Amino acid sequence: MVIKAINDIASICYLKGLRNVVLSPGSRCAPLTLAFNRHGDFNIYTIPDERAAAFIALGMAERTETPTILICTSGTAVLNYAPAVTEAYYRNIPLLVLTADRPPEWLEQWDGQTINQKAIFEPHIKKSFSFPDSFEHKDALWFSHRLVNEAINCCSSLENGPVHINVPLREPFYPEKGEKLVFDKAIKLIDEPAFENSPGKDTLLRLSEELNQPAKIVIVVGQHKPDKSLIDALSIVSLKLNIPVVADIIANLHGFAGTIRHSDAFLPKASASLKPDLLITLGQSVISKNLKLFLRQHRASAHWHIAQAGHIPDPMQSLTRIVRMSPTHFFKQLLDTGVTPKSQEFMESWRSLDEKVKENFNSIFTHQPFNEFQAAYRFIKSISGEAKLHLANSMAVRYANFVGLSSQQNNISVHANRGTSGIDGSTSTAVGITLTCAVPNYLITGDVSFFYDINAFWHNYLPTNFKILLLNNHGGGIFRLIPGPSQQPELEELFETQQPRSATRMAEEFGFSYFKSTGEEDFNSQLISFMEDENRAIFEVETNKENNQLFFNHFKSHINT
């Protein structure tokens, strides 16, 4: 009965449309591993490092928008899932986490690989479940089926997110030699249709009446998946109603040419005249600290956040209303409810500052020592066609956000782990996404993030459509570029991660083509060769931390002058 219950987990997952399984080898989890593998209809990926495995699964789930199944053995292996589970929780990415465990009688008995695993990911999990440890009672199998159905539904109901099933298992873990596993194809499923919210006409009319009152409205879009219908709706609203749309690079709005992309560059010197009467936000987190600081200092009288479901935070300290509907539906309906155009002058104030930054980018690098910002700028501008751009945390995502993507690069989708903004799984997440698609995938990363997550490559599935721009300044260069640590005498000893490594041998070990630049003289030729190479490749750009710091200060002082 126990073997059937474990096999039925695989059967239910398959029948409910789950296909990708990322597992890490272990003995306690053998019944789960064998069930999913012998089922025969899953894509199985064996990743030895549980932390890398979890982030790779995160990338797969982000790309497919379907729960990826994670399987590991008991003990500290489970804890290694925590960073990726937390990122999934804050980014609403569906993961179904299956962790093998000791049976309850052996907890706290000094038994090997045994820790308290029940609800171990709380509070950073949508829900935790405990699988039955005994099937003697006739209702136990029914209960296990109900539990697995509920867990999968929970992954994708209202808002996506990670769900944990802890599975206590007793020996024996392995079937007898020659024993065949049987999978029930007629097992009962519990379906939960996707939630649809279509507000009534009266609600929309009431909102439109309120939208007619403020003279100045700003729309801010946080991290969001690519969505052409949303872009189309926002572009029409912006152009017809004179409402500036402000977005970071991770909002994936570069398909709309009118997006305000460079607020992070011009807001530090902007006047209070850019303050909106009404702020409308959608999406998740915003990269730009300057945008958040400006909107906190110059708070709108009203602030609406548009979201169909989920927790709504208040990062601008001005939230007054949560509008529960699809943002695309909200903006599509807006024009049909009689909202009057807003101040053209206000709209032009935002746009003129944005255009000024764009114009200055052409000359800002002139007569400056070669630096990693310049490398990131040239690399981003060289990407064309359909592609995915991955941004590691720390300075890589900040450089990319300053640069932005043009409307001509509308077939590029941008991905970054901005739920928790950690450096620990940036490469692994990019690998996970790359494994699920055939288009070129590019990662911009710093050396600390890159070497920290090197086990992203420790498996047998490395794709060839993956290229990495490695900005190697031999230490945590971000601490020279932000106030506080850069002014401390302990900067180099305690804040920067001094390291002499190069990616040369690592590239050889994992089968990457390798390119290197140490200055402006060879950067352009190496970049062309790197982009044209048909294998997975690493382009290591070695720069000087002091030059990076000097240029970044120069950039902040001159980009908006």
Q: Which domains does the chain have, with CATH numbers?
A: 2-168 (3.40.50.970), 201-358 (3.40.50.1220), 362-558 (3.40.50.970)
Lowest mean pLDDT among 340-349, 351-360, 477-486: 477-486
Which of these, 90, 100, 93, 187, lies nearest to 148 by C-alpha position?
A: 187
What is the C-alpha to C-alpha distance for residues 179 and 389, in angstroms, rounded to an integer?
46
Alpha-carbon distance of 64 to 411, in angstroms, equals 17
Tokens of 499: 């390291």
Helix intervals (H) in 107-219: 139-156, 201-211
Q: Which helix (H) or strand (E) holds 414?
A: strand 412-415
Q: What is the pTM of this model?
A: 0.94
DSSP secondary structure letters along 383-396: --SSEEEEE-TTHH
Question: Cα–Cα distances in Å, from 22 out to 18, 36, 47, 392?
Answer: 12, 10, 7, 22
The pLDDT, as a whole number, for residue 411 is: 96
**Is pLDDT above 80 for 389?**
yes
Question: Taking residues 390-404, what's their average pLDDT?
Answer: 95
Residue 380 reports pLDDT greater than 90: yes
Ranges of H-type helices in 187-288:
201-211, 228-241, 263-266
| pLDDT of 247 | 97
Cβ–Cβ under 8 Å, residues 222 and 230: no
**How many whole angstroms separate alpha carbon 260 and alpha carbon 73?**
48
Q: Are 36 and 71 a contacting pair, CB within 8 Å?
A: yes
* pLDDT class of 521 with cuts at 50, 70, 90: confident
- Cα separation, 411 vs 386, in Å, equals 5
Whose CA is closest to 203, among 341, 333, 335? 333
Contact (CB, 8 A) for 100 and 74: yes
How high is the pLDDT of residue 560? 76
Q: What is the pLDDT of residue 180?
A: 84
Please say if the pLDDT value at position 354 is more than 70. Answer: yes
Task: Report the run of H or E that residue 163 belongs to, with start and end.
Answer: strand 162-168
Q: Is a pLDDT exceeding 90 seen at residue 556?
A: no
User: What is the tens place of the pLDDT at every residue in 38-89?
Assistant: 999 999 999 999 999 999 999 999 999 999 999 999 999 999 999 999 999 9
Cis check for the bond before 172: say yes or no (omega within 30 of 0). yes
Highest averaged pLDDT of the listed ranges 151-160, 174-183, 470-479, 532-541: 532-541
Share of the chain above pLDDT 90, in %: 73
Percent of the chain at pLDDT exceeding 70: 97
CA distance 369 to 512: 29
Q: Phi first, then psi: give them for residue 30, nearest 5 degrees.
A: -55, -45
Q: Cα angle vertex 535, ends 532, 538, to 5°? A: 80
pLDDT given at position 135: 83
- pLDDT, tens digit, for every residue of 423-453? 999 999 999 999 999 999 999 999 999 999 9
Q: What confidence category does residue 194 fall into, taking pLDDT thresholds of 50, 70 and 90?
A: low
Could you tell me the pLDDT band of residue 196, with boundaries at 50, 70 and 90?
low
Contacts of 348 (CB under 8 A, 6+ apart): none
Q: Which residues share a beta bridge with 71?
A: 23, 98
Is residue 333 within 8 A of residue 345, CB to CB? The reply is no
Q: At what angle do helices 372-382 and 520-532 cross, to 10 degrees?
A: 30
User: Which pLDDT value is given to residue 382?
Assistant: 96
User: Which pLDDT score, from 0 to 100, does residue 190 have?
Assistant: 86
Per DSSP, the residues of 409-461 read GTTEEEE--TTT--STTHHHHHHHHHTT--S-EEEEEEHHHHHHTGGGG-SS-
Distance CA 305, CA 18 (A): 32
Q: Average pLDDT in the 170-184 region?
A: 82
Closest CA to 31 of 168, 130, 134: 168
pLDDT at 216: 96
Task: Give the tens place of pLDDT for each residue, 76-135.
Answer: 999 999 999 999 999 999 999 999 999 988 888 888 888 999 999 999 999 999 999 988
- Are 207 and 229 in contact by the 8 Å Cβ rule? The answer is no
Q: How far apart are CA 57 and CA 305, in angstroms?
A: 30
Instruction: Quick: pLDDT tens for 467-508.
Output: 999 999 988 767 776 777 777 877 766 677 778 899 999 999
Higher pLDDT, 170 or 348: 348
The Cα–Cα gap between 489 and 51 comes to: 34
